[in-house]
Every structure is written in C-alpha cells, then in structure tokens.
Amino acid sequence: MPAFTMIKKITHKPCSLSEGKSAPAKHQLTELFWVLGPAFTRWAESHMHQQGMTPQRLRLMGALLENGPMMMSGLKDELGVTATNVTALVDVLEKDGMVERKSHPTDRRATMIKLTVKAEKRLKENCAEFKDRVSELFSGFAETEKKQLVDLLLHVRNALVDRDILEISDVASKTSSSRQKL
C-alpha cells in the first residue's frame, strides 16, 4: 500500500490541500511527519513497562545520566522542548523520586536537576531493553534500509539545526558520532 494512501487510513491530515499521489513530494513528506511523529510516540509509550514512565521522561533522565546534573535551561536545549515542558517533566519525576533539585554551586539563583540513585539504577537496568522493544518496529527493514533511513533522518535533523530549531548536541546527533553534518 503506498505511504500516502496509508496516511488517509491512519488519520485525517491537518491542512490537507494535496491531491493524493499527485501532491509534491515535499507536501507528502510534511504530511507523513505530521502523522508519524505522534504515532511513533504512541508506539514507544505502548512499550513502556515501567509504571509512570514515558519516552519524554526517559529522554530527560537519559540526558541527566549522560551529562550529569544540569540546569533547566540546559535540559530545554538538550531535549529541544519548551521551558514549560521541562518544568512539567521535572515536577513529575521529582514527585516520583527519580530526580531532585539542588542549588547551583556558584549561582544561587539557579537550580540544578540531578538523577537520584533510584533513577540511575532503573535506567541502567531498563534502557537497552526498552529500546529493543521499541525498535522492533524496524524489524522488517533490511540493514541497508535502516542505515539509509538513519542517513535521511540525519539530513532532516541537520536542516532543523541549520534553522536553529535543534541544537547539534541533541540526542539524535549521537546516533552517528562520526558525522556532525552530512
């Protein structure tokens, strides 16, 4: 089934003025990203086996595991989300005992966010297993197709970096540490 036909069956398209297969490829890509972004998030969420954990919370905790304690503004930039999103994520994770707020060592106006020992343990035990479950979605792809898709998505990521939408330090860049720009 062509990808464009599948979009129609999955959901109605926002701002749809296209003519199906005759739509320019750039419009088809836009519509695919509109549908696939939220659908992939729902797929990932359906594979979370930890109570109260979401892919967004996992990403925030992963950033803290990799970088150590961070200020809220650093988390906002690392995750590519708004300050409001970071605050909401930190509030929930703090309530669940996964992160804690600490005073900044040199700037008393700033607050550092730090993983708890409980969170570090859970991440180290469950992260690879979670990624294995979620990546099952790509099991029907040949290795060469997976690599091609990664390269194409890195091009998209770079286009967003060039437009100051994402930071080059975003998690996606770590997919291919040998290439900062393609």
Name which of 16-20, 39-43, 110-114, 144-148 the model is least confident about.
16-20
Domain-embedded: residue 16 = no
> In the prediction, which pLDDT does 2 show?
46
- At residue 147, the pLDDT reads 97
161 and 122 belong to one structural domain: no
116 within domain boundaries: yes
Give the pLDDT score at 130.
82
What CATH number is associated with residue 74?
1.10.10.10
Mean predicted lDDT score pLDDT of the chain: 81
- Is residue 10 situated within a structural domain? no
For residues 77 and 95, membership in a common domain is answered with yes
Question: Which tens digits make up the pLDDT trace of 119-162?
Answer: 998 888 777 888 898 899 999 999 999 999 999 999 999 998 89
pLDDT surpasses 50 at 109: yes
Residue 89 CB neighbour total at 10 angstroms: 22
Looking at residue 181, its pLDDT comes to 39
Together in a domain, 147 and 174: yes
Please tell me whether residues 152 and 176 are part of one structural domain. yes
Same domain, yes or no: 62 and 96: yes
- Give me the helices (H) in 17-115, please: 25-46, 55-67, 72-79, 83-95
Residue 42 has pLDDT above 90, yes or no: no
Q: Is 30 contained in some domain?
A: no
Q: Are residues 114 and 157 in the same domain?
A: no
pLDDT at residue 81 tops 90? no
Domain C-terminal end among 86, 106, 130? 130
Within-domain flag for 44: no
Please, which pLDDT band fits residue 8 given cuts at 50, 70 and 90? very low
For residues 106 and 167, state if they share a domain. Answer: no
Q: How many domains does the chain have?
A: 2
With a threshold of 0.75, does the pTM exceed it?
no
Domain boundary among 107, 130, 153: 130
Tokens of 163: 């437009």
Is residue 98 domain-resident?
yes
| Alpha carbons 36 and 33: distance in angstroms, whole number | 5
3-state secondary structure of 169: coil
CB 160 within 8 A of CB 33: no
- Alpha carbons 34 and 117: distance in angstroms, whole number: 37
Looking at the structure, tell me whether residues 113 and 149 fall in a common domain: no
pLDDT bracket for residue 38 (50, 70, 90): confident
Give pLDDT, residue 171. Answer: 42
**C-beta of residue 79 within 8 angstroms of C-beta of residue 63:** yes
Do 124 and 179 lie in a common domain? Answer: no
**Under 8 Å between Cβ of 40 and 83:** no
Position 59 in a domain: yes
Residues β-bridged to residue 99: 115
Q: Give the count of beta carbons closer than 10 Å to the beta carbon of residue 86.
A: 23
The whole domain housing 168 covers 140-182
Q: Is 95 helix (H, G, I), strand (E, B) or coil?
A: helix
